Amino acid sequence: LDSHGAQVGPMAVSPDETMFVSGSPDGRLRLWNIKKGGVVGDPWEGHNGQVRCLDWCPNALEIASGSTDGTIRRWNPDTGRQIAPPIETGHGWVNAVKYSPQCDKFMSGGVDKTIGVWSKDGQLLMKIKGHEDMVTSLCWSKDGAYIFSSSFDHTVRKWRLIDREELVVIGGHEHSVTSLHWSKDGVHIFSASVDNTIRIWQSIDGKQLAVLRGHTHSINSFCLTPNESHVVSASTAPFAPGILRRIRKSEIPSCMTMNSSM
């Protein structure tokens, strides 16, 4: 798949898993058909800096992109057109953007160390402060009541949204945390780091359950398979192509397959 004409950055898959959108340092987005393996339509243009993050709303009606130009832009996936004026976040670089499961709001994080929570129409609802370095990744609980964030300050933090209360600070990583995933049952948080590891935590109290090792360089991103039985992680060594590792369910401790309330 080659249509950007420049390095490819973040990607987001549609809720029905038939399409994905990609972003590039040239500020453009492209839409792709997964089954056909080809690009759809013309590039989406608007950002004045590199695209740093993408998210596809769970209702499939819009896509959000964040950029080094400090804005979040929202797009109609059917037309490739922006559906509202750009949002000036105040973050500097926007490193993370994530829709709530209900699609009634979204949040963002950036180099100003804060998390912004925005209404569906792009109005700032609150700013959450606490991290000591840039925010890198965000995720919501299923009910939209709690969020987790990661940062270059080596921590993962849990927040209660209604009062912005910081509930848990997880400090086990030895370097910057780059990516997060909250398990479907709400019980576990997965985090990846520049310390070459993926770590698994209890979401309720931040207790570390497992450390997944194997990469020899920092992990930039990872994802779980739909049934959450495998982790696929990507690491970029200097002057070398990215490395993917698949971690089988048997390599994850048995405690990870137990179900408990959040």
Q: What is the pLDDT of residues 72-81, one digit of tens each?
A: 999 999 999 9
Task: Look at residue 233 and tell me if it is in a domain.
Answer: yes
Task: Look at residue 102 and tell me if it is in a domain.
Answer: yes
Q: Residue 24 in contact with residue 45, Cβ under 8 Å?
A: no
SS3 content of the chain, % helix, strand, coil (to 5): 5, 45, 50
**Domain final position from 93, 120, 147:** 120
Cα distance between residue 152 and residue 136, in whole Å: 7
Q: Are residues 76 and 135 in the same domain?
A: no
Distances (CA, A) of 50 to 37, 45, 168: 24, 11, 32
Average pLDDT, the chain: 88
* pLDDT of 250 higher than 50: no
Cα distance between residue 12 and residue 63, in whole Å: 9
Q: Are residues 179 and 250 in the same domain?
A: yes
Task: Look at residue 95 and tell me if it is in a domain.
Answer: yes
Phi, psi at residue 177, to the nearest 5°?
-95, 130
Domain with residue 3: its CATH number is: 2.130.10.10
Task: Look at residue 81 and tell me if it is in a domain.
Answer: yes
Q: Are residues 135 and 190 in the same domain?
A: yes
Task: Look at residue 106 and tell me if it is in a domain.
Answer: yes
Q: Are residues 113 and 202 in the same domain?
A: no
pLDDT tens track for 136-160 = 999 999 999 999 999 999 999 999 9
Q: Are residues 36 and 137 in the same domain?
A: no
Q: Are residues 171 and 84 in the same domain?
A: no
How confident is residue 248, by pLDDT bands cut at 50, 70 and 90? Answer: low
Q: Residue 134 in contact with residue 104, Cβ under 8 Å?
A: no
Token pair listed for 148: 């987790």
Give the domain extent around 153. 130-262
Q: Are residues 144 and 257 in the same domain?
A: yes
Q: Are residues 115 and 136 in the same domain?
A: no
Q: Are residues 78 and 186 in the same domain?
A: no
Task: Look at residue 138 and tell me if it is in a domain.
Answer: yes
Q: 96, 57, 66, 94: which is closest to 178 by C-alpha?
A: 96
Cα distance between residue 185 and residue 168, in whole Å: 19
| Residue listed under structure tokens 């930039």 | 220
Q: Are residues 97 and 135 in the same domain?
A: no
DSSP 8-state class, residue 82: B
Task: Look at residue 125 and tell me if it is in a domain.
Answer: no
pTM above 0.85, yes or no: yes
Highest mean pLDDT among 60-64, 224-228, 237-241, 258-262: 60-64
**What pLDDT does residue 260 have?**
31
Cα distance between residue 133 and residue 89, in whole Å: 17
Task: Look at residue 75 and tell me if it is in a domain.
Answer: yes
Mean pLDDT across the stretch 212-231? 86
DSSP 8-state class, residue 86: P
Q: Are residues 110 and 135 in the same domain?
A: no
Mean pLDDT across the stretch 47-62? 96
Q: Are residues 161 and 79 in the same domain?
A: no
**Domain final position from 101, 120, 139:** 120
The pLDDT > 70 percentage for the chain reads: 87
pLDDT tens track for 39-49 = 999 999 999 99
Number of compact structural domains in the chain: 2
> Which of 61-75, 184-198, 200-214, 229-243 shows the lowest per-residue confidence on average (mean pLDDT)?
229-243
Q: Residue 33 in contact with residue 40, Cβ under 8 Å?
A: yes
